[in-house]
Amino acid sequence: MKTAASSIKAWISSAKSGNIAPNNPALAVEVLGVTEMQGGFALRLRELRKQKDLSQTALGKLAGLHYTHIGRYERGASRPSGDTLKRLADVLGVTSDYLFGGAADDVTKARFEDHELLQQFHEVERLSDDDKHVIKRLLDAFLTKKHLQALAR
C-alpha cells in the first residue's frame, strides 16, 4: 500500500509532466485522502456492527443489503451509495456523516442510544460553567440514589 508521502510525490511528478488529476483520477483521489476516509468508514462500520453484536448477514438484512456488500464495505473494497449509507447509519444508530467521516472523538455520539438524552447533553454543553456544575451535581445525586437502591435490594 502506498504511503501518503509517496502518493504526493507521484502526483507532483505527474503534475510536472502535465499528467495531473484529469488524466489520473485514481491518483488524485488517493492524494486527496479519499482512500483514508474510506478506510475509516470500513473500520467504523465493522466496529459499530460488532458493538451491536450483529453478523454481516444480520446487518445486511436490517439494512436491506446482501451480506457480501457488508463484507466489501468492511474490507474497503467498495463504497456504499448515499441511500445505502443512510440505511446502514440508521440501523447502527449513528449519522451517515459519522459513519463515513466521523472523528475518533465522536465515538461517544455513536454509542448513544437515547437521542433525546444526547440532545439534552448538547444543550447542557452550551450552559455556563456554574449551570453545568449544578447539572453534574444533580446527576451525581440521582445516580448515587439509584446505586444505593440497587444495593438495598
Length of the chain: 153
Task: Quickly state the pLDDT bin for 22 (edges 50, 70, 90).
Answer: very low
Query: pLDDT (tens digit, 9 = 90+) per residue, 115-135?
Result: 777 778 878 888 899 998 898
Predicted pLDDT at 95: 80
The rounded Cα 116 to chain-centroid distance in angstroms is: 20
15-19, 68-72, 86-90: least confident range: 15-19
In angstroms, the CA 118 to CA 123 distance is 9
Cell of 84: 445505502
The rounded Cα 145 to chain-centroid distance in angstroms is: 35
Rg (CA), the chain: 22
In angstroms, the CA 80 to CA 13 distance is 32
In angstroms, the CA 153 to CA 148 distance is 9
Predicted pLDDT at 119: 78
Query: pLDDT (tens digit, 9 = 90+) per residue, 83-100?
Result: 898 899 889 888 887 887
What whole-number percentage of the chain has pLDDT above 70? 66
